[in-house]
Structure 1
Amino acid sequence: MKASLLLAIILSSLQTVGQSLSNEPTFKLSYLVDPDGQFTIDQVAGREFEPVSGARLNFGLSSAVYWIKMELYESASPSEALKIFNGTLSEANLYIKRGSEYELQRFNNEEIDATSSYTTQFPIFDLPVSAKDSVVYLQVRSHNVLDLPFYLNDKNRIMKSIGFDFLYFGIYAGIILVMFLYNSFLYFSVKDKNYLYYVIYILMVGLAQACLKGYSTLFLWPNNEWLIRQSVNLSIAMSGIFAIPFVVNFLNIRRNAPKFLYVLFSLVIVYVVGIFISISGNYIVAQQVLQINASLVSVTILVCGGYVFSQGYRPAVFLIVSWFFFLSGVMIYILKDVGILSFNIFTNNSILIGSGLEAALLSFALADKINTYKKEKEESQTQALLISKENEKLIREQNIVLEQRVEERTHALKETNESLQMTLDHLKETQAQLVEAEKMASLGQLTAGVAHEINNPINFVTSNVAPLKRDIQIVWNAMDVIQQVALSELPIAEKIQRINTFKEEEDIEYLKTEIDFLLKGMHEGATRTAEIVKSLRIFSRVDEDSLKFADINEGLESTLVILNSVIREGIQVNKQFGELPLVECYPGKLNQVFLNIITNAIHAINKKFNGDIGGILELRTTVDGDNVLISIQDNGTGMSEDIKEKIFEPFFTTKEVGEGTGLGMSIVYNTIKKHRGEIKVESRVNEGTRFTLVLPITQQIV
């Protein structure tokens, strides 16, 4: 009904406005091609123009600039304005000779407000001409079809014709908007994708018509140069792209005509290619590609619809009829563009009429499809009811058998679960034993290191006890001798001589030096023992289950002290410790991490150098924002990529049998993960390995 109303309004308006377009023209036209757009008005005025008949010129798709010479007749009624019925004309310049100079009136669709005194997408020029045989020159160019229907009349009639153009497009836009809103509501109600594709498609079609008529330039994106130039090509391409999925879904092409899928989606690709051509700046080539592809799409959809209808698919008839109306409007418009049909209100708005009818008919088609769905659903429900009754009978018969099988299966599952539980308990015990074994291995290594480190200074102290005891005895003896000499009645001189003789015999001066040396050695041994005990206390913290703020550098130092016995003379230890804040962590667990990584590094160095000079172990600590970075690097044997990917897997080890449990690096990984940290491993075969531990300074554990 809405489509019929549109036709009635348009046909009635033809009597009002169409007459003025069919009158004999009051001017004579001729044209000149300017291929590069380099001609000036002075150069053009002296050239020969190609004469044409009628009040309209059509140059099709062309990138050239055209000059139009318009000779006005004195016998015609005085005309006050010139209108060109083309809403996509890019630029038009009108030159009116005033004495020896030319008056210029400009129109540019990228700057309508700045170049025209009329708020319309149509070029309109004032023509206050009264002299006989007056001549004006018009320079035009366009990125679209260069169709130039001219209309001379007074301003009131011209504005009236523009008003009718607004009316026609407003009615069309209203139809599109109503169809869009109504079917959008249906989509959200029934969730049928047909409606979604339909509303997107008609929205793109409406946008394409707005671009072809120039209303998008006037209302949607005025003064946007890029969109004004691209909008016609992009909107045509998008309407074609969205038409294809709608047709595919509406006709159920995947089931009814699967071979057409490849053809339709290949045409989508052509549309995309046309978009890229247009964006690259080749507007004319892009429009030629899009026009050819649109024709192929139209023919393909009609053929596809006919084929699907021949297969008995009833909704296809609506698509065929609606597409026929739309294509009829397009064909009339094209025939008008190429000059086969005359320009009038009907031919100029044929696409609006065709697409409006198409939108209405497709909406009816979707409504009919819902009825088809409803009928199919009722039939399906009836069939399902019959099947359910038969199934109910089968279910009753099978229930008895199923109950017996369920009971048997339940018994078997129960036995399986018991077996799995026993296996799980065994695995937990094994895991606990393996973790304990790793701890004992570390403890053994720790004990051996501490025993070795403490034994050296203690041996130094005990070895100095006997000489010191002997020297002290000599001191006691000297005191006795001196006392005897002092208490004797000998002369003073003889007393002094006897004491000096005794001192020389016992070498008292050397004795003093030796005692100082022995005491200094015992002091150093005791001090070293105290440092080792302190490092042991730092390393073996018992606060593993509670977070503490600890000094990371201190933990690394204590670990090196513990491992001092296994670091051979050929290994050079480089320490570059930065100034670190106290880190919230589990200190004992982190010391275990340091021990495991450094032990592996020493093992790799020893394996490569075998006690020779050249091994380097480098420890470095730095602060990076909210994290501390701990780098432990060696120049040992290194690892291949395959081994590097597996080092954190439990029970994986590259050591000989009996040398490792394969849990050390797994414990390292889990400990760092518990600290919300990160481990980075870099390694190359025969070049070495670097472990970088990233630890947050504070733990925000939820």
Structure 2
Amino acid sequence: MVRHFYKLFFFTLFILSAAKVKADAVIGANDGKLLIGKEIYVLQADKEISFNEALKSAAFKKYDKDVPNLGLTAVSTWLRFTVTNKTQGPKLLLDVAYPILDEVELYSPDASGGFQTTLMGEIKPFKERKYDHPDYIFDLNIATDSSKTYYLRVKSTEQLIVPISVNAPTDLWQSLNYENVLSGLFIGAIIIMFLYNLFIYFSVRDKSYLYYVIYVGSVGLTQIGIKGFTFQYLWGNSPGFELKSVVIFACLGAIAALLFTKIFLDTPQRARRFDKVLTGVIVLLSVALGLTLIGKLQAGFQLMQLATTLFAFSLIIVSAIVMRNGYRPARFVFLSWCSLLIGAVIFTLKDNGVLPYNMFTSYSMQIASIVEMALLSFGLADRINILKREKEESQAQALAIAEENERIIREQNVMLELKVNERTHELNESLDDLKQAQSQLVESEKMASLGQLTAGIAHEINNPINFVTSNVNPLKRDVEMILDAMTMIENVSQSDISADEKQKQIEEYKEEIDFEYLVMEIKHLIKGIHEGASRTAEIVKGLKIFSRLDEDDLKKTDINEGIESTLIIANNLLNGKVKVITEYGGLPLVECYAGKLNQVFLNILSNAIYAVDKQFGNEHGGEIKITTGIEDTYVVIKIADNGTGMSDTALKKVFEPFFTTKEVGEGTGLGMSITYNTIKKHNGHILVNSELGKGTEFILKIPVIFDTKAA
């Protein structure tokens, strides 16, 4: 019995000794990345304690999982671990692979028996780190076959997770480079999703795409923020913002996702009760965002966690309800949030030690996010296809109605034409009287139109006049300062002080008022006034040349000058969108009624501008070309545009009174009739070339000498 007792005693000692050895993190040459979660001791106090207090504390407890998940705490947590080096070299690296910890401080034993400290975390600028990587990497200098005990203080407003490992340098950098490649693939996928859907938003202007783009961007920043890359590359010098960034972008992403879902699934109509739930979750997220922004970080994080949990389950439930009601795109929403929830569950089980800590579980959220975003993109595309199909069906119905209306109109037109033919004979008898009345109406309309268009140049005159008036007050102020300077110089010159002192006082005063700049500014203001006055005079001259309403006699006139004055009058119609090209030939003076010809030019230009505007709308590309020349005894004016052009039917009726292709209220149909009569009055000719969809060209031929006999 005694012998068995001794055996049992020594066996127990062996087991305890083995347990003690296991409490050390022993890293060998081929161990690679060694997670030491099960070899650490944890001290969680209810208040902040110093290192000396932690060093003396007997309250450290052994942890039993590979990755410590220490929950939420407002104070620092202490970790103690011992590392035994079985590698060939003394240099090892400690990797704390959770970049969003606020404070990470390592206490390393030194040769004197004390401890040296190294502090890192989100509270310090990224550039102060020794190693350019988001993880917290510390040097462990341990001689081969020896051990050292370290203390690690960690603190965070978020969930306190500490994936801690001991590594040989080469093994760690190889592992981190592999992880960086995976993170790069995730970031690339996020950027592609963001830009692709942003392009679609600008194409279709669907607000759901805008919320989806905001969601993709926010989720991407949240995920790479958890990996520490935003702090490394975007705001490394802003620790204050880094402490808040993950919660901020998580809240923004969830809010955008909820707004997207409300629009995409039309929850106010398809799921009214749950729409109120979604609105409530948005309010909770907004409160969490507000708490985070004002510095209540832990409260903001806890409320964000609660809200995002409600957010995930609410979206799954509401998408299931809408899907059950037969709305096909809801399937994509349901599957996308289910995939994201699965990824979150895997990630959480990994953090709590249920699943192993490996590459798949570490990147489960990123993988799930990519799958979820892809499914939502498919859902958006499917929704666009449904809307397109509904639009096509609606257009088909509208076309059928339009065809039926057209049939009815044709029948009515036949009946109307019969009635018109019955009245034609009666109307022919009074045709001469009608033409006379029409001629008087045309003249009256011509004068009214001319006065109305001439008044339109007020806009052209107003700009240079405003330029003049805006320069007057600064010029008055500067001149008064010059006069004051002259008075001061006169007073100094009459004083009894020495010439050098006079010169000094004058120079000081000139420097005080910045005399050289004052002179330069006066010249600039005078130049501006001169340019504004010159431009005004030019416009008034153009108006005078254009109107000539009081000139009923024939006069020799420069046609090119008349066209230029007409362009000044029509400039407000051009509105900067229509390009005017002029190619003037050398023309002799022409005997004509100058005001009437200018009215002809204005009528044609107005129609050309209208046609170009209809063709191009708000886009550029519209063009009007004006060419003048001489052929035999005629001056030839060609005015061509690249507007809508005219059909053959419209071309035959273009000079008929009251005929117009413009919308109701945009034209009377008298302009081209006036033009035709004016050219005939000058014994000239007017030709029109037009092709529908390509443009129109008017060719005017005016005799150089007015033939009174022919008139």
Q: Please, what TM-score do these two structures have when normalized by structure 1? A: 0.51
The match for 1:94 among 98, 106, 112 is: 106
Instruction: Point out the more displaced range, 236-245 or 59-68.
Output: 59-68
Does the 8 Å contact 2:32/2:168 carry over to 1?
no
Deviations 1:334-375 (A, max 9, x none): 222233222211111111101111112222222222222222
Does 1:128 pair with 2:141?
yes
Distance 1:398 1:206, change over 3 A: farther
Cα deviation, residue 166, structure 1: 1.8
Secondary structure, aligned partner of 2:82: strand
The match for 2:341 among 327, 347, 350 is: 327
1:680 corresponds to: none
2:190 corresponds to: 176
Cα deviation, residue 298, structure 1: 1.0
The match for 2:214 among 200, 209, 213 is: 200
Does the 8 Å contact 1:81/1:124 carry over to 2?
yes
Does 1:82 pair with 2:94?
yes
2:396 corresponds to: 382
1:317 corresponds to: 331
Distance 1:43 1:152, change over 3 A: closer
Letter matched to residue 231 of structure 2: T
Cα deviation, residue 191, structure 1: 2.0
**Unaligned regions of 5+ residues in structure 1, if any?**
1-18, 403-702
Secondary structure, aligned partner of 2:163: strand
Secondary structure, aligned partner of 1:148: coil
State the distance in 2 between where 1:308 and 1:169 align: 35
2:124 corresponds to: 111
2:258 corresponds to: 244
Does the 8 Å contact 1:110/1:223 carry over to 2?
no
State the distance in 2 between where 1:55 and 1:83 align: 14
Distance 1:366 1:136, change over 3 A: same
Cα deviation, residue 62, structure 1: 1.7
The match for 1:35 among 42, 46, 64 is: 46
2:203 corresponds to: 189
State the distance in 2 between where 1:220 and 1:188 align: 27
The match for 1:227 among 230, 241, 244 is: 241
State the distance in 1 between where 2:369 and 2:31 align: 27
Letter matched to residue 225 of structure 2: C
2:307 corresponds to: 293
Deviations 1:286-323 (A, max 9, x none): 21111111111111111111111111111111111122
1:559 corresponds to: none
Distance 1:24 1:224, change over 3 A: closer
Cα deviation, residue 25, structure 1: 4.6
**Unaligned regions of 5+ residues in structure 2, if any?**
1-29, 417-711
| Higher-Rg member (1/2) | 1
2:364 corresponds to: 350
Superposed counterparts of 1:551-570, under 5 Å? none
How many matched pairs? 386
2:179 corresponds to: 165
Cα deviation, residue 118, structure 1: 0.5
Does the 8 Å contact 1:27/1:70 carry over to 2?
no
List 4+ stretches of structure 1 deviating above 3 A.
19-27, 45-48, 73-79, 112-115, 389-402
Letter matched to residue 63 of structure 1: A
Deviations 1:272-294 (A, max 9, x none): 11112223333222211111111
Superposed counterparts of 1:297-696, under 5 Å? 297-392=311-406
Letter matched to residue 315 of structure 2: I
Does the 8 Å contact 2:127/2:237 carry over to 1?
no
State the distance in 1 between where 2:85 and 2:204 align: 67
State the distance in 1 between where 2:241 and 2:49 align: 26
The match for 1:274 among 285, 288, 294 is: 288
Distance 1:217 1:163, change over 3 A: same
Letter matched to residue 36 of structure 1: K
Cα deviation, residue 74, structure 1: 5.5
Does the 8 Å contact 2:35/2:67 carry over to 1?
no
Does the 8 Å contact 1:21/1:344 carry over to 2?
no
Secondary structure, aligned partner of 1:60: coil
Distance 1:43 1:315, change over 3 A: closer
Does the 8 Å contact 1:35/1:65 carry over to 2?
no
Distance 1:401 1:64, change over 3 A: farther
Does the 8 Å contact 2:251/2:288 carry over to 1?
yes
2:64 corresponds to: 53
State the distance in 2 between where 1:195 and 1:76 align: 55
State the distance in 2 between where 1:69 and 1:255 align: 58
Cα deviation, residue 399, structure 1: 10
Cα deviation, residue 240, structure 1: 0.6
Secondary structure, aligned partner of 2:298: helix
Does the 8 Å contact 1:221/1:228 carry over to 2?
yes
State the distance in 2 between where 1:311 and 1:137 align: 59
Cα deviation, residue 333, structure 1: 1.4
Does the 8 Å contact 1:27/1:73 carry over to 2?
no
Distance 1:35 1:184, change over 3 A: same
Does the 8 Å contact 1:106/1:115 carry over to 2?
no
Letter matched to residue 51 of structure 1: K
Does the 8 Å contact 1:65/1:141 carry over to 2?
yes
Secondary structure, aligned partner of 1:92: strand
Secondary structure, aligned partner of 2:141: coil
The match for 2:268 among 243, 251, 254 is: 254
State the distance in 2 between where 1:208 and 1:401 align: 73
Letter matched to residue 66 of structure 1: T
Secondary structure, aligned partner of 1:104: strand
State the distance in 1 between where 2:403 and 2:272 align: 36
State the distance in 1 between where 2:38 and 2:255 align: 44
Instruction: Point out the more displaced range, 269-278 or 190-199.
Output: 190-199
Distance 1:397 1:201, change over 3 A: farther
Cα deviation, residue 53, structure 1: 2.5
Does the 8 Å contact 1:79/1:153 carry over to 2?
no
Secondary structure, aligned partner of 2:152: strand
1:72 corresponds to: 83
State the distance in 1 between where 2:250 and 2:117 align: 34
* Percent identity over paired residues: 33
Letter matched to residue 94 of structure 1: L
Letter matched to residue 102 of structure 1: F
Distance 1:317 1:335, change over 3 A: same
State the distance in 2 between where 1:397 and 1:265 align: 57
Distance 1:191 1:43, change over 3 A: closer
Letter matched to residue 89 of structure 1: L
State the distance in 2 between where 1:143 and 1:375 align: 51
Distance 1:390 1:113, change over 3 A: closer
State the distance in 2 between where 1:187 and 1:351 align: 26
Does the 8 Å contact 1:106/1:116 carry over to 2?
no
Cα deviation, residue 125, structure 1: 0.8
Does the 8 Å contact 1:26/1:73 carry over to 2?
no
Letter matched to residue 32 of structure 1: L
Does the 8 Å contact 1:68/1:139 carry over to 2?
yes
Letter matched to residue 126 of structure 1: D
2:446 corresponds to: none
Does the 8 Å contact 2:208/2:263 carry over to 1?
yes
State the distance in 2 between where 1:184 and 1:290 align: 27
Secondary structure, aligned partner of 1:134: strand
Q: Please, what TM-score do these two structures have when normalized by structure 2? A: 0.51
